[in-house]
Amino acid sequence: MPAIAEAARPKPIKVAGVKFPAYVRPGSKPLPLLGAGLRTKWLFKLYALAVYQVTRKYTAHHVIRANEQKFIWLHMLRPVKAADLAEAVNEGLRDNMPPKIRRQIAPQVALFVKALPPTIPKGAAIGFWYRPGKGVLVNIQHGAKLDLEGYDVMVAIWSIWFGKKPSDSGLKRDVLTRR
């Protein structure tokens, strides 16, 4: 029996030189690592990403829709201009969210874009911590901390990486399978 319990425990994952711990504690409770992967574009390594959440179910639907504490951690592997990141966020929302929801969350997305520093440097971290009933607390290293209110904002943000048309299908696959 102990072998089964040990196998179920999350283990740290290393992606492109970034070691993501088995647990993070954005609030009072530790969240276990679900998986991690690498975001690439045109052969460039942009960032490593890890997902932590209370329930360790490995489906995109659950990762997006679970109304429980969860956390996405991006670790930048190269400098990225705020305008490029804003464009990628808007493209991900267009590809994965209906127009009505995009209009509804537009003010929240604008707050996020405005909070970005002109360039997010290599090595910087961006954390997205969803708290049920409150929304997403975004912490941009070398930038701001801001609250984006509501469940729909969280679903939209998580859909950028795990929706039907993710920003990087390889990243989505890796996060859902790399344990």
> 161 with 168: CB under 8 angstroms?
yes
> 155 with 64: CB under 8 angstroms?
yes
CATH of domain 10-177: 3.50.70.10
> 71 with 63: CB under 8 angstroms?
no
- Could you report the per-residue pLDDT of 68-98, keeping only the tens digit for each? 999 999 999 999 999 999 999 999 999 999 9
Q: Where are the alpha helices (DSSP H) in the chain?
A: 2-8, 60-65, 82-96, 99-115, 151-162, 169-177
- Could you report the per-residue pLDDT of 92-113, keeping only the tens digit for each? 999 999 999 999 999 999 999 9
- H/E segment holding residue 30: none
> pTM value?
0.91
